[in-house]
Structure 1
């Protein structure tokens, strides 16, 4: 076998091989390509979602990653990092319950009651958002009511971290723990508006939820027990001790569960009412603690002498 050729100059080293060429960057996704990918994944509102993804992505690579996550089934809100709720942009982190548009009906009812509470007492209302998730309801109430004493609580650490981003910006506080155990003791008997967006899906129906919810939201935020009312019962049993006289508890439920919820409210001494929204497919049960809230001091009428001290 012939020997290898000897270099003519012993001190000469072979030139290094050229480095591999860098792979060309993928072409940026166009709007039609994003829409096509979303449609193929079953996204009903592909055009609207494409606009949101295109607006949220800072680079072509980020857009491609976001489209991939969405087509794999992640909720759009987890992909872009926020949800629109009551006209506000609410931060929503992965693994946190996504606020539903139907819950805006609960907020509307709570706003009306909160304004009346302010008129009765002459002070900012004390508002508590229990089972707060992202804190969307509490943040929306603070925005609508103006000055409030706002507290929110959830048992999920991820939800608490997310809620702090939304609630602290509204001037509120967020607490971690199981229902009322999470709240400061100083709130007992002082709450004017208690909103509790409790889980109310019956256990056997959780598997029927869209994959976005059942696969990517915490089970504790969805599963309401055998008939869907387990957490509602716990909240209703304890709420009267935390509500101020004339204070209100508001919970969202399904239309078919409302009669049982009303019975639970009544049994625990709350005066119940039910409100429905056909437009939002929402049902809210409201309960009022019996008793009269303290009245604000009345200013003396013009032309009338003030009472002597």
Structure 2
């Protein structure tokens, strides 16, 4: 391979043969990472016959082994910011940006109503993606990002360091922090929710995403989501807002868990592909009802 254009064609063929879903895109992004250029600049360089960047071939070979692209570049784009990611943390997905959109809409409405410093909890923060994006877009908000995993916490600390209004807590998202009971305006969470009955098949997920970030517990994957909804009902103020990501198959179960824990105004939200992706609700006045068996908190990881 004597030119960048030849290298990109070769890489696209190799990645296609390996079953990578977006081979051409990944080839361009890897070249761009090595060259310090964006996608358009790489394509322009290819047209004028630029040289192949050093390290391109071994990086492509790693990608053919289904090492996630984000592990190779060390970054993941999310809602207009770049996050540091790598082994030990769940890679944030574009569809999770819907949670940020919904949470920021609610926060801006709260600010318009005179709440000067709304309080947010991002439960199962993982890489810190949601907390960082909300802090970036609503700098008035005070955010408590909660994560249990030691490995994920390292990445969250790195990604949240620039945001002084974010407090990172190492804790179980199913437990209720006493200092925040009834004080939170918005809870947002992308918890582990994969059902035992719907295991992922992508090698990037099965071989590289932490298991504790995936499995929700039980055939329907609802054990952890239900426990998190129950905990959120304790920290939210009356009229507070919660939004949770979930699997398509869990929409009805999440709706029921909200209603069983004192929430009202339950609303299902679809992502850009039209799939049921998240459900929001508002905490009503009064004591929540019990919803399902207690969870043995410390047997489950919580990570986004």
What is the TM-score normalised by the length of structure 1?
0.79
Match of 2:301? none
SS of the residue 1:55 aligns to: helix
Query: Alpha-carbon deviation of 1:216?
Result: 0.4
Find the aligned partners of 1:87 and 1:64 in 2 and give their Cα distance. Answer: 29
Distance in 2, Cα, partners of 1:98 & 1:145: 23
Residue 246 (str. 1) matches residue 223 (str. 2)? no
Q: CA RMSD in A?
A: 2.3
- CA-CA distance at 1:122 after TM superposition: 2.9
1:50-61 pair list within 5 angstroms: 50-57=27-34, 60-61=53-54
Q: In the TM superposition, what is the alpha-carbon distance from 1:244 to its structure 2 partner?
A: 2.0
| 2:20–2:66 CA contact under 8 A, matched in 1 | no
Residue pairs, 1:295-306, within 5 angstroms: none
Which one has more relative contact order, counting CA pairs under 8 Å at least 6 apart?
Answer: 2
In the alignment, is the contact (CA less than 8 A) between 2:262 and 2:285 conserved in 1? no
Give the distance between the partners of 2:3 and 2:208, measured in 1 at CA: 28
Question: Which residue of the partner structure matches residue 25 of structure 2?
Answer: 48
Q: State the partner residue of 1:173.
A: 167
SS at match of 2:248: coil
Looking at structure 1, the residues matched to 3 and 55 of structure 2 have their Cα atoms a distance apart, in angstroms, of: 10
Q: 2:9 aligns with which of 28, 32, 38?
A: 32
1:180 to partner: Cα distance:
5.1
Matched, 1:222 2:214: yes
Deviation at 1:60, TM superposition (A): 4.8
Which of 160, 163, 183 does residue 190 from structure 1 map onto? Answer: 183
C-alpha displacement of 1:210: 1.2
In the other structure, the counterpart of 1:304 is none
| Cα separation, 2, equivalents of 1:269 and 1:211 | 39
Runs of 5+ consecutive residues of structure 1 not aligned to the other structure: 1-25, 293-309
Which range moved further: 279-288 or 162-171? Answer: 279-288
TM superposition score normalised by structure 2: 0.80
> 1:117 is matched with which residue?
110
Q: How does 1:67-86 map to 2 (within 5 A)?
A: 67-86=60-79
Q: Name 1:271's counterpart in structure 2.
A: 264
Please say which structure displays the higher CA radius of gyration: 1
How many pairs are equivalent?
Answer: 265
Which string of whole-angstrom CA distances, capped at 9 and with x for unpartnered residues, describes residues 194-224 of structure 1?
1111122111322x43111111011111111
Tell me which residue corresponds to 2:44. Answer: none
Shift of 1:173: 2.1
2:122 aligned to which of 129, 151, 164: 129
Contact 1:154 1:178 survives alignment (8 Å): yes
